[in-house]
Amino acid sequence: MVRGRRGRAMPDKRPLLSIIVPVYNTSERLEACLESLLAQTAADLELILVDDGSTDRSADICRAFQSRDPGRIRFFSGPNRGVSAARNRGLDAAAGEWIAFCDSDDRADPELYRVLHANAVARNAELSCCAIRRIAPDGERILTDFPFRGESAVMERGEIIERFFLPLLCGRPECNGFLVCCLFRRDLVEKRKIRFVENLSMKEDELFLLEYLLLVRRLTATERPLYDYLRFEASLCATYYKEGSDLDRERNWVLRARKQREIFRNSGLAERYPELAAEFRLREYYHAAQSVCCDPSCGAAARRARLKLLAERARREDGGGGSGTGGLFWFFLLHCLPLLPLLCHAKRKKDAFGRRRRRNAGKVQ
């Protein structure tokens, strides 16, 4: 072994591909996942297993697999810090020319990484994607991670921004932000030091993908479903993304909104799309206000003081405008601050009703 950045141990020969697998209490499905990764037809890969403080047998399973194939498997463990921190630890350890992510309760087709890498090389692309087979209690369906159809397709820089980056940034339904069916170049990830937002437990994968898309000149994709995404009540995704309290949810939304706004600023598109700049500003301030209004540890006086500071910052940024709920929120924040907690409370109630209705509809199916 040789020593790399930060003095960490690195393989004597860099592998072509590093597959990062965050692990958290998935012992029932972990072995099937790891077997599917070891069965890959792609040559020269390493598996980086990062146990995130599991309380079941997951860490023992990882150690057993590492003992079985120490040349290809590296194992790290630590206290529970969340999926973003686990993936970041994997990124810091990765040595491959290309990087992929796999959830520890999913399965990969044996051809997954060979096809993704071959497509990337053949088309000189910095990002290679495939379709996902979503397997859930309500049935199986195919999801694509790209906004076009075609067995073999290529997207250039302009199309990437217009048809993938912007729809994903704005949360439009035609785009998914799944990392697990993508192949990334490690030199581009390290060029901008792209990492996951720690303490964020929702849609952190989309933010990573969005930052990376700003560096991509060409994307290649296949509609072949080469990744089985298992969605069930105790899945890794469901475990990390729990319902939680209103405060937890709003704090997550604040982190996400701030990062979205930062990514949009760095994209150089703000002057071209001023309405989006206003929309992202609205999202950040709205969820910041909600996090203040639903904080049970915040008394009335402290709540008023925190909202006043938020309103002053909004005025300095010249925030305002919009229509519908957004326009109403800005009016209350900037001109009718004492009534803002009532508006926020009504909106939380409406959102909670919508979530319950969606869950009940899923149970009926």
Strand partners, 349: none
Same-domain check for residues 11 and 96:
yes
Q: In this structure, what token pair is assigned to residue 11?
A: 């393989």
CB of 42 closer than 8 Å to CB of 117:
yes
Same-domain check for residues 126 and 85:
yes
Same-domain check for residues 301 and 153:
no
Same-domain check for residues 346 and 360:
yes
CB of 242 closer than 8 Å to CB of 202:
no
CB of 95 closer than 8 Å to CB of 14:
yes
Same-domain check for residues 332 and 260:
yes
Same-domain check for residues 280 and 327:
yes
**What Rg do the C-alpha atoms of the chain give, in angstroms?**
22
Same-domain check for residues 225 and 275:
no
> Which residues are CB-contacts of 123 (< 8 A; sequence separation ≥ 6)?
154, 218, 220
Query: In the listed set 200, 222, 240, which residue is the last one of a domain according to the structure?
Result: 240
Q: Is 158 exposed, middle or buried (0-12, 13-18, 19+ CB in 10 A)?
A: exposed
Same-domain check for residues 215 and 343:
no
pTM across the whole model? 0.87
Query: In the listed set 208, 240, 272, which residue is the last one of a domain according to the structure?
Result: 240
pLDDT in tens, the chain (365 residues): 444 444 445 556 789 999 999 999 999 999 999 999 999 999 899 999 999 999 999 999 999 999 999 999 999 999 999 999 999 999 999 999 999 999 999 999 999 999 999 999 999 999 999 999 998 877 788 888 777 666 568 999 999 999 999 999 998 877 888 999 999 999 999 999 999 999 888 889 999 999 999 999 999 999 999 999 987 555 445 444 455 688 999 999 999 999 999 999 999 999 999 989 888 999 999 999 999 999 999 899 999 999 999 999 998 886 544 444 567 888 899 889 999 999 999 988 888 767 777 666 554 33
Q: How many domains does the structure of the chain reveal?
A: 2
- Residue 202, domain extent: 2-240
Q: Which CATH number fits the domain that encloses residue 56? A: 3.90.550.10
Query: In the listed set 240, 263, 294, which residue is the last one of a domain according to the structure?
Result: 240
Same-domain check for residues 311 and 230:
no
Instruction: Tell me how far apart the alpha carbons of residues 135 and 145 are, in angstroms, rounded to a whole number.
Output: 16
Phi first, then psi: what are they for 33, rounded to 5°?
-65, -50
Same-domain check for residues 330 and 183:
no
Same-domain check for residues 142 and 234:
yes
Q: Is 339 exposed, middle or buried (0-12, 13-18, 19+ CB in 10 A)?
A: exposed
Rounded to a whole number of angstroms, the distance between the first and last alpha carbons of the chain is: 53
Same-domain check for residues 295 and 215:
no
